[in-house]
Amino acid sequence: MPTVTVGTTTIECDHGAILRDVLQEYDFDIDPHNGTASLINCRGHGTCGTCAVEIQRKTHHRGDTRASDDNDVSTDTADITGTDMTTENNRRIDTDSPDTRGSDDTSVPVDSHTVIERIRLSVPPHTSNPELRLACQTRVRGDITVIKHDGLWGHHTDDDQDKQ
């Protein structure tokens, strides 16, 4: 079974579980939403973008976590204008990789971005960070660490920088 870690809490969830449901069901220290968005949101349809979280794949061989890269997640990273995105170290992410929705492949920790997710994450205040996902659109397929940032939409804010 895949595990989801938030802060110091790690739980197991069903393979293919929707991350938003996992975060709400297991009463983590964080809600997938910040502030008033916990009351007023799209209820998992992917249209509001307030459940944005950063996903990192857990690597067992080193005992640490690292951000997903082109070898970890099969993600269509072309934005809605058709522009390819690259990872932080400027490697091109394979936009031709097969979609993993419904896959039983545990080597892929989460499914590809959905169409609605790609569209919503392309609109400010979100950025083209490939690790940023909408919890309501993300199915957990492997062990991951979830980071929730400040800001109504879960995007990086100046407060995030002050905490680091």
Cα–Cα distance measured from residue 51 to residue 41, given in angstroms and rounded to the nearest whole number: 9
Residue with the bigger pLDDT between 160 and 148: it is 148
Q: Number of structural domains, the chain?
A: 1
On whether residue 132 sits in a domain, the answer given is yes
Asked if the peptide bond before residue 125 counts as cis, ω within 30 degrees of 0, the response is yes
pLDDT of residue 52: 92
What is the overall mean pLDDT for the chain? 72
Q: Which residues are CB-contacts of 105 (< 8 A; sequence separation ≥ 6)?
A: 141
On whether residue 116 sits in a domain, the answer given is yes
On whether residue 23 sits in a domain, the answer given is no
Q: Which one-letter DSSP state was computed for residue 36? A: G
SS3 label, residue 145: strand
Q: Which one-letter DSSP state was computed for residue 93? A: P
On whether residue 41 sits in a domain, the answer given is no
SS3 label, residue 116: helix
Tell me: pLDDT of 23 over 80.
yes
Tell me: pLDDT of 17 over 60.
yes
Cα–Cα distance measured from residue 26 to residue 149, given in angstroms and rounded to the nearest whole number: 19
pLDDT of residue 158: 56
DSSP string, 24-77: HHTT-SS-SS-GGGGTSS-SSSSSS-TTEEEEEEEETTTTEEEE--TTT-----
Tell me: pLDDT of 53 over 70.
yes
Confidence class of residue 29 from pLDDT cuts 50, 70 and 90? low
Q: What is the pLDDT of residues 105-156, one digit of tens each?
A: 556 788 888 999 999 989 888 877 788 999 999 999 999 999 988 887 776 6
Tokens read off for 4: 């989801």
Which residues form the domain of 120? 3-14+49-152
On whether residue 90 sits in a domain, the answer given is yes
On whether residue 106 sits in a domain, the answer given is yes
Tell me: pLDDT of 162 over 60.
no
On whether residue 122 sits in a domain, the answer given is yes
Q: Which residue has the tokens 């659109």?
A: 137
Q: Which residue has the tokens 């002050």?
A: 162
pLDDT of residue 48: 92
On whether residue 79 sits in a domain, the answer given is yes
Confidence class of residue 28 from pLDDT cuts 50, 70 and 90? low
| pTM: predicted TM-score of the whole model, two decimal places | 0.67
